[in-house]
Amino acid sequence: MAGTTRRTFIAGTVLVSVLPLASARATPEAMAAAIKEVVGDNAIREGRVTLDVPPLIENGNAVPLTVSVESPMSEADYVKAIHVFNEKNPQPHVFDARLSPKNGKAMIATRIKLGDSQKIVAIAETSKGEFFSASADVIVTLAACLEDLT
């Protein structure tokens, strides 16, 4: 490596250290692709969906998240599915839930992991084939999945 200058060496190490990191994270594009897989060519409208998640999170390992959708939940018009996506975890999916008129109320609460400060998107699919969405920005101070504490 006689021809290696300090400059090319540094450029090389930067490339090596940046590339694996870039591929190990979902990106806003990956989230858009995951959403596209669910929604297809249908239009997504804002509204009807409420995504309740604290704006500032101390511990990304357990973030309380509630999704509720305004819907009569009758045989004629009900929420068929609720999907939640994220931007910067290793994978864009969070969960997919299937509902029916037997639920009476389209509301789900759970706890999720967040690897970074990011945007969360919830999408509701109605029995009529409409899609509604809501999003929330979350700031995380201690990210999930960093190290094995055990």
| 44 or 97: CB nearest other proteins | 97
| 46 or 148: CB nearest other proteins | 148
Q: Are 145 and 115 in contact (CB under 8 A)?
A: yes
Q: What is the DSSP string of 72-119?
A: ---SSS-EEEEEEEESSSSSSEEEEEE--GGGSSEEEEEEE--SSSEE
> Does 96 interact with other proteins (rule: CB under 8 A)?
yes
CB of 135 to other proteins, least distance (A): 16
By CB under 8 A, which span of 14-22, 39-47, 101-109, 134-142 interacts with other proteins? Answer: 101-109
| 11 or 139: CB nearest other proteins | 139
SS3 content of the chain, % helix, strand, coil (to 5): 20, 40, 40
| 4 or 131: CB nearest other proteins | 131
By CB under 8 A, which span of 9-17, 48-56, 59-67, 126-134 interacts with other proteins? Answer: 59-67
> Does 7 interact with other proteins (rule: CB under 8 A)?
no
| 2 or 22: CB nearest other proteins | 22
Which residues contact residue 119 at a Cβ distance below 8 angstroms, ignoring those fewer than 6 apart? 28, 86, 87, 135, 136, 137, 138
The two counts, helices (H) then strands (E), for the chain are 2, 9
CB of 85 to other proteins, least distance (A): 9
Report d(CA 50, CA 33) in Å as an integer. Answer: 22
Number of residues that bind other proteins (CB under 8 A): 34
How many CA atoms within 13 Å lie on the side-chain side of 36?
6
Where does this chain bind other proteins (CB under 8 A)? Answer: 24, 61-63, 86, 89-91, 93-114, 145-148
